[in-house]
Amino acid sequence: MDILRRIGRALYRATVNFDRDHGFDFAAVISYFSLLSILPLCILLVAWGAAVIGSVDMAEQGVKFLLRDLVRLLGDDVFAQAREVGSEAGRLGWPFLLISLWTASKVFSKVEGALDHVFRVENRRSYPVRKIFSFGLVALLAMTILVLFVFSGVMTTLNGYLGSTPLAGVRSNPLYVAVNSAVS
């Protein structure tokens, strides 16, 4: 009976603290800015990927792979728009990329603000540091896409090489199968 009472008190305290910290309000703010930031983030990642790799198709595939769970929810319309605008990014120039970066990073700023409030951070980072941190997270996403491109190319090359050698049995190794299926 004592354990049930402790569980009940813990649930009650969690509910009261969640309400006191405006958890629902912050969840709504984060959701709102996440939805508003998805398209600029996709456009930015496709544009950066296309600029680095030279192929809009490969950039779009990389972004779809990185955001694959989100793609199922949003549908292909978001990526069709991202592809269209991302392919024009070179013509639109640096102002376009900076505006996309600013907009895409907004969600990270809101998440940080919500977490600062919930954990009662007294000395928040300065505005420039928060923006640099947000930009860094967007850049980290872009770097992750580039790493995925390279890794996907390595796995494709390895698959082609292993198919014509006596080492073809490696392809049935469970670890190899798991890595290969995650990349493809």
pLDDT 10s per residue in the chain (184 long)?
Answer: 788 899 999 999 988 988 888 888 878 877 777 777 777 777 777 777 777 777 777 777 777 777 766 666 666 676 677 767 766 666 667 777 777 777 777 777 877 887 787 778 888 888 888 888 888 888 887 777 777 777 777 777 777 777 777 777 777 778 877 777 766 6
- Dist. CA 60–CA 71, nearest whole Å: 11
Distances from the Cα of 184 to the Cα of 29, 48, 127, 167, angstroms: 35, 22, 40, 20
pTM over 0.75, yes/no: no
Nearest to 100 by CA among 61, 66, 142: 142
85's tokens: 């605008």
- Dist. CA 74–CA 144, nearest whole Å: 21
